[in-house]
Structure formats: C-alpha cells, structure tokens
Amino acid sequence: MTNVAVIYYSSTGNVHRLAEAAAESAQKAGADVRLRKVVELAPESAIAQNEGWAAHAAATRDIAEATLADVEWADALLFGTPTRFGLPAAQLKQFLDTTGGLWFQGKLVNKVVSSFTSTSTTHGGQESTILALNNTFYHWGAIIVPPGFADPVQFEQVNGNPYGASSVSGNQAGNVHPDNLASIAFQARRTTDVASALHRGFQAA
C-alpha cells in the first residue's frame, strides 16, 4: 500500500477543505492516508480578532499536527498553503525548515510531492505560491507531480492551474468551488498513482 500524507496550513478553512478532498481521493485510490495540519504560529490574540479564523481553529482542534515522522513515513506528500504575498504561509514554511535532518540523511530523495493553494483574489498569487513551495522539494531530490492538463477537469475548473489545484475564497471562510475540489481530487489521485508506480518500479529493479 502507498503511504500518502496530506500536510497543510489553513487559517479560515479554504485550504483545509482542499486538503480533506485530497485525503479522501488518495484513500479512494488505495493509499494509506494521514491528514495533518502544521503548528499554528500566530498569537491567540490575532486569531481571536478574526471570526472565521477563530471558528476554524476551534473546528479543527482535533486534527493531528504534522511531525517529521509523517514525512519519513510517506511515499507521497501533498502540501497545501494559503498565499502570503505570493509566497507560502510562514506556518508551513517553518515546518518544512525542520526537515533538514531528514534531508541530510537522504531520506527525502524520491519522495513524490505535489502542492496546492488558496488565495483571496483571482490573481492573488496561486502560481507563484506553488512554484515557491516547490523550490524546497527540488532540494530534497523529490519527484514533483503537477496536475498539468492531464484530465478534463483541468479545463473545467474555475480558477485552477496546471501547477496545482487552487481556489479563490473572496475572503469567505470555507469557500471552495466544486470544480476546485474536483481538481484537487484528480491531483491527489495522480500523485498517488505515480508514487505507487514508482514504488513498484523500484521493487522490480
């Protein structure tokens, strides 16, 4: 069985919704799946001032936090983040910065990785966020799997792209279009399939 970890950061729930859809799709594709959120770095006072942020934090308090053991366990990883000025959120970046020990030991080589995001506006940095996030995985020696235009859903989605599934929230908590959920489902399935094929290939070599 292929091990898939979906690791994400979400403040008001949009990336969380995409992450849930990714985990569900990977499970349907036959993977053993872990859904994990990264540690929140923002102070409680900041969270409390935003109703949607506070509500999402309370609703997802029971979701396990990501650890390096989850990264080492996974054959494939899907990482999700909202955009912050066209870049990944600090919370996810901080977690990735802790993977140096695994990188040094060569334990991240040939991990299959894919990325997804959510922004407030249509041109709010979807592509730049995913591209910036993927820079880490080049250093890992990972195999990056984009959705591309490899499925009809990629032509139907409202605001996605071939780099990775993305949604536009319009600053509304949990506002993810069904087309974007279909896109991340395809992306997770494709990532799982590539990881499974790669695993079989290595076993046969």
Task: Annotate 74-138 with three-state secondary structure.
Answer: CCEEEEEEEEECCEECHHHHHHHHCCHHHHHCCCCCCCEEEEEEEECCCCCCHHHHHHHHHHHHH
Please, which pLDDT band fits residue 27 given cuts at 50, 70 and 90? very high
Q: What pTM was estimated for this model as a whole?
A: 0.95
Beta bridge pairs of residue 113 = 77, 144
Residue-wise pLDDT for 103-159, tens only, equals 999 999 999 999 999 988 888 899 999 999 999 999 999 999 999 999 988 887 676
> Any idea which of 24-33, 76-85, 103-112, 155-164 has the lowest mean pLDDT?
155-164
Report the topology of domain 3-204: Rossmann fold (3.40.50)
Domain ranges of the chain: 3-204
Residue-wise pLDDT for 163-200, tens only, equals 999 988 877 777 888 999 999 999 999 999 999 999 88
- Which residue from 154, 72, 89, 76 is spatially nearest to 125, judged by alpha carbons? 89
